[in-house]
Amino acid sequence: MAELGRMTAVQLVAAYGKGELTPVDATRAALDRIEQTEPAVNAFVRVDAEAALRQAEESAARWRRGEPEGLLDGVPVSVKDILLQKGGPTLRGSKATRLDGRWDEDAPSVARLREHGAVFLGKTTTPEYGWKGVTDSPVSGITRNPYDPSRTAGGSSGGAAAAVALGAGPVALGTDGGGSVRIPGAFCGIFALKPTYGRVPLYPASAFGTLAHVGPMTLDAADAALVMDVISGADHRDWSGLGPAEGSFREGLGDGVRGLRVAYSASFGGQVAVAPQVASAVRKAVERLAQLGAYVEEADPDFSDPVEAFHTLWFSGAARVTQHFNKEQRAALDPGLREVALRGARYSALDYLAAVDVRMDLGRRMGRFHSAYDLLVTPTLPLTAFEAGRETPSGRGRWTGWTPFTYPFNLTQQPAATVPCGVDGDGLPIGVQLVAARHKDALVLRAAQALYEAGAASVPAPQLP
């Protein structure tokens, strides 16, 4: 069962085709793993074992007939409880959610997984409305790190990252408005991709606007490429979605990095204090890219920290989320969300448009930067996982204070991924971030795949009982 939990989606589909495993085997193993680890980690807000096994049996019958339904037929997956999944409520981590809705619609990415035969294990935990970089909420409590349950899993897709790391399904869908797949991906030692904005359709539209992306969280880059081939199709419900991708994300995945121009920014020009063990692990990953034939140069992107503009946009989104809540609903909110929503409600339209101006200038600067460099490489985070139950390691400030490498690229809408590149002295995972120009998602996946093939992207599996 432990070996099954470390098999990727690509490996599972290949094993199904050869008759070596069935979707029922993989689903039972994932459900067993959830049962074993949930008391310690709390990655799921809802698990539907009966429905999952029924879907797995239907998939197994299709494989026996030699008629798989799609690219992920029989692969166990989980869905962050921000995204709609028909058959049950999407709580969004909030006690304000009405439970008497129809709940008969899938979000676009969830619908595409369903069309390709995926087996849905359940919904993973999120902070309330995905508002912060750790995962705890009034609904589900604290989600903990698979490598050390006293530490945070990160967020806001913390349950999704923990589930993949623990072997509770090799694929999870997460959302990322300021780092929310990359932060927990780095803390939990898995791969996570924030695609170019609009590449994966989103519905309903996020209150956080075009900062919010949907992305795959997987055991490696090859699985993410496979998932992107499934979820990146157009959906008429998303007015801002992009047109069809050019070809498959799996085409050219193994072409390597020889000849690519890579900029390595260790600290955004001294703007970020990075823990020494993190800096060392990231530098080794960059050195491996150079050994694989990339032209690597230390170079910093031309911008100062855009945190105030990000706060204006992000806190305004929080105000919009809670705008129509009554007194009782507001009283039940995460206190931090209530605080930033009140702050967001005080911004004027001119404040908001000034933040948009900063955003547009940042996008222009990064567009120019990528005319000289194919990839930007940074630490994903300047630190490893800290104490669970805190928004920040110091207990002061907002979550953006320790995520300076992630949220700028939500402002610019660029594709960015975290790749595991080692562990610190406490055995906690470290992530390296790969960033490319808009629409160059395949390039990010290709560079990540090169690190995996070179053995530079592996971390030990978590050793929870």
> Is residue 290 included in any domain, yes or no?
yes
Q: How big is the chain by its Cα radius of gyration, in Å?
A: 20
> Could you give the CA distance from residue 42 to residue 171 in angstroms, rounded to a whole number?
17
Distance of CA 192 to the CA centre of its chain: 5
> Is residue 360 included in any domain, yes or no?
yes
> Is residue 24 included in any domain, yes or no?
yes
Higher pLDDT, 244 or 46: 46
Place of tokens 């692990």: 281
pLDDT tens string 293-347: 999 999 999 999 999 999 999 999 999 999 999 999 999 999 999 999 999 999 9
Contact call for residues 255 and 447 (beta carbons, < 8 A): no
> Is residue 326 included in any domain, yes or no?
no
pLDDT tens string 172-218: 999 999 999 999 999 999 999 999 999 999 999 999 999 999 999 99
- Domain of 407 in residue numbering reads as 2-307+348-453
> Is residue 423 included in any domain, yes or no?
yes
pLDDT tens string 412-433: 999 999 999 999 999 999 999 9
Number of domains in the chain: 1
Distance of CA 302 to the CA centre of its chain: 26
CATH code where residue 249 lies: 3.90.1300.10
> Is residue 343 included in any domain, yes or no?
no
Mean pLDDT of the residues in the chain:
97
Cis, bond preceding 404 (omega within 30 deg of 0): no
Where residue 395 falls among pLDDT bands split at 50, 70, 90? confident
Confidence at residue 246, expressed as pLDDT on a 0 to 100 scale? 87
Q: What are phi and psi of 142, to 5 degrees?
A: -95, 130
> Could you give the CA distance from residue 215 to residue 201 in angstroms, rounded to a whole number?
10
Confidence at residue 101, expressed as pLDDT on a 0 to 100 scale? 81
52, 108, 453 from 49: Cα distances, Å: 5, 23, 35
> Could you give the CA distance from residue 389 to residue 386 in angstroms, rounded to a whole number?
9
Mean pLDDT of 358-374: 98
Confidence at residue 99, expressed as pLDDT on a 0 to 100 scale? 86
> Is residue 321 included in any domain, yes or no?
no
> Could you give the CA distance from residue 464 to residue 459 in angstroms, rounded to a whole number?
15
Least-confidence region, from 115-119, 159-163, 245-249, 422-426:
245-249
Confidence at residue 2, expressed as pLDDT on a 0 to 100 scale? 63
Where residue 397 falls among pLDDT bands split at 50, 70, 90? very high
> Is residue 25 included in any domain, yes or no?
yes
**Which residues are known catalytic residues?**
80, 156, 180
Short-list 72, 28, 82, 81, CA closest to 50: 28
Residue 61 pLDDT > 80? yes
pLDDT tens string 126-136: 999 999 999 99
Residue 465 pLDDT > 90? no
pLDDT tens string 245-266: 889 999 999 999 999 999 999 9
